[in-house]
Amino acid sequence: MLPADTDVSTLSLLCVTDYCLTVRGTVGIEAARLGIPVLNADRGRYDQRGFTMDPRTVAEYLEIIGRLETVPPLSAEQQELADRFAYGYLLLRPLHLTSVSFRFTPGPAGEEKRKIEATARIELENPEDWAGAPDIRAFADWVTTGRQQDFLAPSPPTPTSARG
């Protein structure tokens, strides 16, 4: 188990991982993209999507744990489902702001709990700027129309690699 503030990269662990057991962390998405079988211990954003094992009961969870070594790596189709989900969840879903910028500065190293200072800068100066800002307009349109469950960026960033 790794605490949330660890300096250990999950990728370094996934390179030597045969199976991923998670409650609903993003490590399950990362593992599935690499073909590693993922066993979810709870419901979350990516269960029941075709690339994870999602037991419905404690008994079913324990049964899968008991035969985990027999579970094969994910198929190419399952990995593609994980890729598609990751793209939507990690790249399209976040709101990319240009009207407001944030800067995060970590506190001094060695402190028991690092303090992170955050500052925000609003780039817009008047109501006309707010009304015409593409990021604000896209978010406002999503909020007012309510046609999609999640906000999806109108112009997603270009992925650097389909498989990391």
Residue 78 has pLDDT above 60, yes or no: yes
Q: Could you state, in order of their start, the residue ranges of all structural domains in the chain?
A: 10-92, 96-164
For residues 118-134, average pLDDT: 84
The pLDDT of residue 161 is: 45
β-bridge partners, 120: 102
- Read off the DSSP letter of residue 70: G
Structure tokens at 27: 């490590």
pTM of the model: 0.64
Residues with Cβ within 8 Å of residue 154, at least 6 apart in sequence: 134, 138
**Poorest-pLDDT segment among 19-28, 60-69, 85-94:** 85-94
